[in-house]
Amino acid sequence: MSKILRVNMTTKELRVEMKQEYDFLGGRSLSSSIVCDEVEPTCEPLGRKNKLVIATGLLSGTIASSAGRISVGGKSPLTNGIKEANCGGVAGSKLSKCGVQAVIVEGKTDDEGCYVLVIDKDGYKLEEKSELKFLGNYETIKMLYQMYGKKAGILCVGPAGERGLRGACIAASDPHGELKFAARGGMGAVMGIKGLKAIVVDDEGVNLVSYHDREKFMELAKDFNLKLSNDPKVTGTYHNFGTTAIVKAVNAMGALPTNNFRYGCFEYADNLSGEMMNELIKKRGGEGRLALSCMEVCAIRCSTIYPDASGKKIVSTMQYENIALLGSNLGMDNLDSVARMNYEINDLGLDTIETGCALGVALDQGYGKFGCEGDCMALIGEIRRNTALGRLIGNGALLTGQVLGSSRIPTGKGQGFAGYDPRALKGNGVTYSMSTMGGDHTAGNCFGSRATVDPLGTQNQGELSKTLQIQIGTLDCIGLCMFARGPLFADPSILAHIVNCRAGSSYDKDTIWDLGINTLKLERDFNIKAGVSPVHDKLPEYLYEEKLSPTNAVFDLTKEEMLKSIV
Amino acid sequence: MVTVKLNLTLSGSLGKDEFMLKLDCPRTLASVMEEIGIPPEDAGMVIKNKKWAPLDCIVEENDEVLIFPHLEGG
């Protein structure tokens, strides 16, 4: 039986429910199932009827590497469809150890209160903490550590979430006290507008993770962890460069968003590359770090701490998407500028991708100069001061572009594109437009070593996106990091067996993908009922007409090709 | 001459990131990689003359080839 904690923010009532129908579901399959069961598809995303669902993965709380990702679901204030965002951090694992598979946050506080949900061995309680109201994420985490101890796992929102800005994200504390983010889709606004500032999970003295076959699970998990640790992609690439490894490759293929997706190649890309980040972190020393884990157990260790010239930490973690959207997309020619903006946006509790897209649109409309950190910081300052312009940018790229009069707004289903121009990586154009998640690469990223599909070609893109949506969707259900896919996709029976030994399910190498397939079908059905699909299953018009240099590509896939991506 | 540029872990393995090779005739990328001492299976992505190319592409005189290890986007 799945243990669900229901939190009503209107009545402040907390209730535990045991649900058999959610057995064998986890992560995205659990959060999306609950959203589909309980949320009216046409409801106002920032209203009382929407719900925020936080779900643990099927392997969460175990020794399996990279399996502690937490899933956050609800109706997105950006896409108006269903949304699932997931992230690392320690809260997922701790929630599982406390015996909770999901938390459903419903209603909306009628007072001006700022609430913290506390989950520990003694139970559950909602505490009013007005001193946290409108605090930035970094100060919030610091104060929550003081209140509840440094071993607590924390999920929280910054002022952007509390103010209901649609680009807001949910921050999660990691083992080093740094922040990770369930970034996409505005889930931070859904949480913040309900009056819930934070969730604190303390697993001290409790471990309720159960196993169908513990002995076999431990054997399989150790074997998987070893395979992952010995994967050269992990040890060579992620440990040294993190996700920033791909900057030069995306630039070389002409898909690196530059100056509001006007160009696909950035002349200063080398300055923003993984190699440069690695060199600077090593050279500057001090608080700089490479190869940090973002979960309690993780062999991948792609997180970093990026320091300034004196060795003092600027931000953790420097990632590809941040570099693409806050770097080349804004014309920034150095990592220090990106890191400083990244810190500010993290502190406000905004998604760096959405905000990077919104800033790009604003610069394109004359609200600053590309390549000028000062201009961008001034716009970010508007968000912090909660001015009308700041609220506009914090509400995301689409609203920013619509109000400022742009016809070049890089969004899919109302959500800002990730760091791949869809004209030069057409498979991602399919994912941005056709997937249930909108302009979100994590729904099915076609970048990578897929030697058989030309990223500029017009064939097989729909099928590629579909395959990836299923594969990554399945990992999302299990709570696994997508970078753990190497040994798992090489032999999917490992994935099936490990899940079976933990949950008591009976998947095999072929049926394990049903987790992803069934979830995608549910999500699409929700989006159809919400009026999002098929109406908004398309990209902005300019991408079909405006040639992207240096490849001169436009987005020219046929409708038939696009439809092949639907599960 | 053909210019071969190695990236990330590939350059680290040889301590050098750029090679100039004289090709008498068009050759497979795999044979070019073998000549410079990189196992062909270590290549994950190739950009030839500023465009994506399949791993079994043919390399000719005056080509510029960028080779990346296996990468995944995140």
Is there a contact between A254 and B8 if contact means CB atoms under 8 Å apart? no
Interatomic CA distance for residues A483 and A512, integer angstroms: 18
Is there a contact between A485 and B72 if contact means CB atoms under 8 Å apart? yes
Average pLDDT for A361-375:
98
Residue A55 has phi, psi (to 5 degrees) of -130, 145
Q: Tell me, yes or no, if A278 comes closer than 8 A to chain B by beta carbon.
A: no
Question: Is the alpha carbon torsion for A54, A537, A160, A247 positive or negative?
Answer: positive
Interatomic CA distance for residues A377 and A380, integer angstroms: 5
CB pairs under 8 A between A and B: 88
Report pLDDT for A30.
98
Q: What is the mean pLDDT of chain B?
A: 91
Residue B28: exposed, middle, or buried by beta-carbon count in 10 A (0-12, 13-18, 19+)? middle
Interatomic CA distance for residues A155 and A137, integer angstroms: 10
Residue B13 in this model has a pLDDT that exceeds 80: no
Is there a contact between A252 and B47 if contact means CB atoms under 8 Å apart? yes
Residue B74 in this model has a pLDDT that exceeds 80: no
What would the two tokens of residue A216 be? 């076999």
Residue A95 in this model has a pLDDT that exceeds 70: yes
Would you call A82 helix, strand, or coil by DSSP? strand
Average pLDDT for A198-221:
97
Residues 6+ apart with CB under 8 A from A526: A32, A35, A36, A39, A41, A81, A82, A436
Closest residue on chain A to B51 (Cα): A253
Rg (alpha carbons) of chain A, rounded to whole number: 21
Would you call A236 helix, strand, or coil by DSSP? helix
Question: Is the alpha carbon torsion for B13, B14, B15, B20 positive or negative?
Answer: negative
Q: Tell me, yes or no, if A449 comes closer than 8 A to chain B by beta carbon.
A: yes
What would the two tokens of residue A556 be? 């020219």
Report pLDDT for A232.
84
Q: Tell me, yes or no, if B40 comes closer than 8 A to chain A by beta carbon.
A: no
Q: Between A232, A249, A319, which is nearest B68 by CB? A: A249
In chain A, the percentage of residues whose pLDDT exceeds 90 is 96
Is there a contact between A321 and B74 if contact means CB atoms under 8 Å apart? yes
Q: Are A158 and A133 in contact (CB under 8 A)?
A: no
Cis (ω within 30 of 0) for the bond into A317?
yes
Closest residue on chain A to B65 (Cα): A252
Closest residue on chain B to A274 (Cα): B8
Is there a contact between A452 and B54 if contact means CB atoms under 8 Å apart? yes
Distance from CA of A493 to the nearest CA of B (A): 22
> What would the pLDDT profile of A107-151 be if each residue is shown by its tens digit?
999 998 999 999 999 999 999 999 999 999 999 999 999 999 999
Average pLDDT for A30-50:
98
Distance from CA of B68 to the nearest CA of A (A): 7
Distance from CA of B3 to the nearest CA of A (A): 15
Residue A451 in this model has a pLDDT that exceeds 80: no
Is there a contact between B69 and A248 if contact means CB atoms under 8 Å apart? no
Is there a contact between B9 and A236 if contact means CB atoms under 8 Å apart? yes
Is there a contact between B44 and A448 if contact means CB atoms under 8 Å apart? yes
- Which has the closest alpha carbon to A511: A523, A499, A526? A499
Q: Between A240, A449, A482, which is nearest B70 by CB? A: A449
Distance from CA of B15 to the nearest CA of A (A): 14
Average pLDDT for A206-233:
95
Alpha helix (H) ranges present in A411-460? 426-434
Q: Which of A238, A248, A256 to mutate to test the interface with B (most CBs of B within 10 A)?
A: A248
Q: Between A246, A254, A551, which is nearest B73 by CB? A: A246
Average pLDDT for A82-104:
98
Q: Tell me, yes or no, if A146 comes closer than 8 A to chain B by beta carbon.
A: no
Report pLDDT for A452.
79
Average pLDDT for A272-276:
97
* E strands present in chain B: 2-6, 18-21, 27-28, 45-48, 51-53, 58-59, 64-68
Place of tokens 């104060």: A143
Report pLDDT for A155.
98
Is there a contact between B54 and A454 if contact means CB atoms under 8 Å apart? yes
Q: Between A232, A275, A420, which is nearest B73 by CB? A: A420
Average pLDDT for A210-228:
97
What would the two tokens of residue A397 be? 């790229």
Distance from CA of A1 to the nearest CA of B (A): 34
Is there a contact between B73 and A451 if contact means CB atoms under 8 Å apart? no
Residue A450 in this model has a pLDDT that exceeds 80: no
Q: Tell me, yes or no, if A420 comes closer than 8 A to chain B by beta carbon.
A: yes
Higher pLDDT, A240 or B13: A240
Q: What is the mean pLDDT of chain A?
A: 97
